[in-house]
Copies of this chain bind each other. A is one copy, B any other.
Amino acid sequence: MSKEKQASQAILRPAIPKLSSDETPCAACEVRQFAVCGALTPDELESFGGGMATISLSAGAPLIDEGEDDTHIYSITSGSLKCFKLLPDGRRQVTGFLFPGDFLGLTKSDTYINSVEAITNVTLCRMSRKDLNKYADSISNLDRRLHEMASEALADVQDQILMLGRKTSEERVATFLLSLSRRAGERGGPTNPVEIPMSRDDIGDFLGLTTETVSRTFSRLRKRELIGQDKERKTEILDFETLREISEGF
C-alpha cells in the first residue's frame, strides 16, 4: 500500500483508462474494510462487485474534468489523487486529496464540481451511478454508509474552512502534516514518517499559499527541529506535541 516512488515526475501521459472489467476481486480487496464496501456482507459484496470496473491511471493523468456529466462513482484502491477547482485566470484551489479507501462521488449533482487528477500511479474501482442506485435500493447499509461518509466529509471540510480563513502559513502546514499522518494511520499505515506524495505546488494550492511559502515554512519547521526532512517524499515528525499546538493555534 505504499510504494509510490514514481510519484515525483507527474508526467502528463495519455489518460486512457485501462479497463479490465471482468476481474473484480472485491473479496480480497486490501482497502475494503476502510471503503464504502466495508458495510456489505460477502454476498452483497459479490453482487455489488459485479457492477465494478477496475481502472488504473498513471501519475499525472486526469480522471475527471469539472463540468463533465456526473455519471460514475469511484473507490480508490491504491495511490493518491487530488481534487481541485480552477478560476478563469488559472488560479487553482485543491479542495482535497484522495487516498486508498476513500470514496469519490459523495456529492451528486448533474456535473462534477471538481476536477480530479492522479498524483501517483493509481488504481480505483468504478461504478455507474445507475448501478449504484440499483444496489442502494437492495443493500440497506449502503445508503446509510454513504450518508455517514457525507456527514463526516462535511465535518472535515469545516476544519479546512477554519484553516483557510484564519490560520497562518505555519499553522496550515502543521495542520496539513498532522492530517496526512492521521489519515495514513486510519488506513492502517504508519503515522510517523509521513508520506507526502504531492508536490509543493499541490500543497500550496491546497493550503491557499504559494509553493515558495510552503517551502519556506517547511524549512522553518525543520530549523526548529519539529520535523526532519528525510528523502523520498517522507517527512518525519519530531515533535508531535508542539506541532499539534501550532496547528491548533495556541
Contact = CB atoms under 8 A, between A and B. Distances in A.
The copy count of this chain in the complex is 2
Given A164-B208, A208-B164, A151 B150 contact: yes
Contacts of A85: 158-159, 162
Contacts of A27: none
B151 A107 contact: yes
Q: Which residue, A93, A109, A155, A206, has most C-beta atoms of chain B within 10 A?
A: A93
B150 A154 contact: yes
Interface residues of A, number: 41
7 contacts: A91-B166, A107-B151, A107-B155, A113-B158, A146-B147, A147-B147, A157-B158
A149 to B, nearest CB: 10
A162 B106 contact: no
A206 B165 CA distance: 8
A206 B166 CA distance: 10
Contacts of A113: 155, 158
Given A114-B158, A157-B154, A93 B165 contact: yes
